[in-house]
Structure formats: C-alpha cells, structure tokens
Amino acid sequence: MSSPEIASLSWGHMKVKGCSTTYKDCKVWPGGSRTWDWREAGTNHSPGVQPADLEEVVRKGVKTVVIGRGMSEALQVPPSTVDYLKKNGIDVLVLQTEKAVAEYNALAAQGVRVGGVFHSTC
C-alpha cells in the first residue's frame, strides 16, 4: 500500500488524492488519511506536536514521518517528539508546511513508506 499524494495545499485547506474530504490539519500514512484533531492529544502551538499525535501514523509501519509546522511555522515540535520517532526507528523531517508537503510527496512518489502530520494555517 502506498502513501497517498497530497493533491493541494492552501491556507486552511488540504486535499489528499483519492479522498473527498478537505482537511485543515491532516494525518496521512500508507493507504489512508484523516483529520488531525488536536483535541485528541491536547495539542497546542506550544509545546506543540506530541508523541500521541503520531502514534496512529507510527502504527501504520512508516519508515519516515514528515511534520508540517504550519505556514508560518507557529507549531512547535519538542525534542521529546523527535526522540519518540527516532527510538521507533523512524526518520523524521520537521519543516514549514509547504516544504513538508513537497518533501512528503517526493518521498511518496519514490515508494517510501512515509506518513505525516500537517498544520495548514499559522
């Protein structure tokens, strides 16, 4: 199962190829995607992305996770979150969201088992 392409990104809107839903923030993994609801893990811009935000993506057997910090990089990613991924043997890229989506799509096109979490506003 391959990682789906992110078909479009604009402020507050993301579309994943093969999915009719428009996301504000989303999680993607080989074979699927869904809304990233920050309330599930109590996530906020600071301290930022928590390991709990990534557990579902990690369970999908990804080799790489791309984290999109927002258009203005307002979303923080604490070292503990990066450490969580590395301890699970997963490569991690933390980038501004437009760059993150481009990197994610490039990896997906190469057949890498890549997953991601993307914030499409600030």
Rounded Cα gap, residues 119 and 122, in angstroms: 8
pLDDT tens for 81-121 read 999 999 999 999 999 999 999 999 999 999 999 999 999 99
Domain count, the chain: 1
CATH number at 75 reads 3.40.1230.10
pTM (two decimals): 0.97
Domain membership of residue 52 as a residue range: 6-118
Q: Which two tokens stand for residue 44?
A: 């906020």
CA 111, chain centre distance (Å): 17
What pLDDT score does 1 carry? 87
What residue type is assigned to position 20 of the chain? S
What pLDDT score does 101 carry? 98
